[in-house]
Structure 1
Amino acid sequence: MAKIELTCGDILALRGDALVCPAHKHLICGRGLSAQVYERGGAALAAACDLQPECAVGEARITRAYGLPVKFLLHTVTPQWSSGDQWGAQSLVQLRRCYESALALARQKGLKRLLFPALGAGTNRFPHTIAAHQALEVLHAQAGDFDKLTVCLHTPTALGDWRRVEKRFFGA
């Protein structure tokens, strides 16, 4: 079974087969991590993304990872956090689908070492504890198909949230 690693730092400095990147539905430069990835990938990444079909929330697309220490980028469109209102359940399902789609695409391409940010917890404002529960449930269920799944958080506080969720619900 794959090791699931929770860490804190610069995800763009880590090595793996693929980086899962939050994306805009047209795979254009977005905000946050997406903007950093596009800055490093430059015109080659933008051209590769132009060739991809539109990506709905929860789906994933793959491109080469120009200028990054990984081979591929798995782009996935994350939902907006709706603050737990009447659409909150749909956002949770969509967030889970982001992880499922990225893992399915990685499995299809034979990618074994994946890097994940806290999908949805950045500019889309999911609380880390909620994002962590959705992510870790999917990652733990599918870990056997991979060598290593790394979730890299921006802050020690976020890392603490994810570790508490993992310990409480997954016994790690």
Structure 2
Amino acid sequence: MEPTQVEGEETTIDICTLPNWSALYLEATQNGAMSSEKIFDSSPFPISHELNKKISLWCGDISAVNAHVIVHPTNETLSDANEISIRIFNRAGPGLQKELLSIKSCRTGDCVLTDGFGLPSRYVIHTVGPRWNTKYESAAETALHSCYRKALEIVRERRFPSVAFPLVHSCKKGFPVDRGAHIAIRTVRRFLERYGDSIEMCILVMESCEEHRIYEVILPLYFPRSQKEELQASYLLPKDIGDAMGEPFIQDRCIRIQDNPQHF
């Protein structure tokens, strides 16, 4: 895949040139070891070639991607200076920061939408990922799910045909990359199962080779491309695969509801 570039302009990645998840399948590479314990009798995420064609995994600069909307992980004051933010602001120009100043803030787990200004993408969804704290793992996981789900809800409501996500869960905030990947990918899968007709393409953009490798390992568990990958998923998926929308179960809340079913 070659980026498109006009002399004097910055590189733009045309999403039409990115291979979909189905096209990346190579039988010879699928040699993942399976544990002796089968977690599920059959995978809760069966093969769907239709959904696989909507997913693309790519390593590079999200600010160069010409998806209809890109997702920007930031902080609650919308002023984070992480590497992704710097590239997005530099390419978008001063208009983006000016619009964010008028919005002022965004809660952890929420999203706000702005114009893309000078970016190849027409719009930007800004979201605030959670900090990881071992004492509050469930809260962090639920907040991360909320980031992805609310971003996807905006995509659906605004009828955007394509969206590009970087890692919303940041190592800077201590969130384990692999654990966050399960939540991110599972949320995307569950959303596409329900509302896939409204989204043509979802690009998962990795910043590093390490992130890319982690996603290459975890993606087949939720988006299997063969019977072999589907079988492996029944051994390798985590026991907690969340609810119908992929939201992690919070055990304490489940107990409270069971004790008092009128309390929601």
Give the structure-1-normalised TM-score: 0.91
Paired with 2:186 and 2:115, the residues of 1 have a C-alpha distance of 28
For this pair of structures, how many residues does the alignment match? 170
| Structure 1 partner of 2:155 | 106
With 9-18 and 68-77 compared, the bigger mean Cα shift is at 9-18
Whichever structure has more strand as a proportion of its residues is 1
Q: Aligned runs of 1:11-160 on 2, under 5 Å?
A: 11-82=62-133, 85-143=134-192, 144=196, 145-160=198-213
With 28-37 and 56-65 compared, the bigger mean Cα shift is at 28-37
Query: What SS is found at the alignment partner of 1:79?
Result: coil
- What are the Cα deviations for residues 96-151 of structure 1, in whole angstroms up to 9, with x where unaligned? 10001111112121112001001113432322211210111111111213100000
- Amino acid in structure 2 at the alignment position of 1:52: I
Say which structure, 1 or 2, has more relative contact order (CA 8 Å, 6+ apart): 1
Asked which structure has the greater CA Rg, the reply is: 2
Shift of 1:29: 4.2
- Amino acid in structure 2 at the alignment position of 1:79: P
- Is the CA contact 1:32–1:122 (under 8 Å) kept in the aligned structure 2? no
Give the structure-2-normalised TM-score: 0.61
- Is the CA contact 2:108–2:130 (under 8 Å) kept in the aligned structure 1? yes
Q: Please report the RMSD computed on the Cα atoms of aligned residues, expressed in angstroms.
A: 1.6
- Is the CA contact 1:128–1:162 (under 8 Å) kept in the aligned structure 2? no
Shift of 1:40: 2.0
Shift of 1:171: 2.0
Q: Pick from 215, 238, 243 the counterpart of residue 162 of structure 1.
A: 215
Residues 1:169 and 1:111: Cα distance change in structure 2 (over 3 Å): closer
For structure 1, which runs of at least 5 residues remain unmatched after alignment? Answer: none
Paired with 1:15 and 1:33, the residues of 2 have a C-alpha distance of 15
Residues 1:105 and 1:169: Cα distance change in structure 2 (over 3 Å): closer
- Amino acid in structure 2 at the alignment position of 1:166: L
- Amino acid in structure 1 at the alignment position of 2:142: V
With 27-36 and 92-101 compared, the bigger mean Cα shift is at 27-36
- Is the CA contact 1:29–1:38 (under 8 Å) kept in the aligned structure 2? no
- Is the CA contact 1:64–1:71 (under 8 Å) kept in the aligned structure 2? yes
Paired with 2:136 and 2:130, the residues of 1 have a C-alpha distance of 11
- Is the CA contact 2:129–2:170 (under 8 Å) kept in the aligned structure 1? no
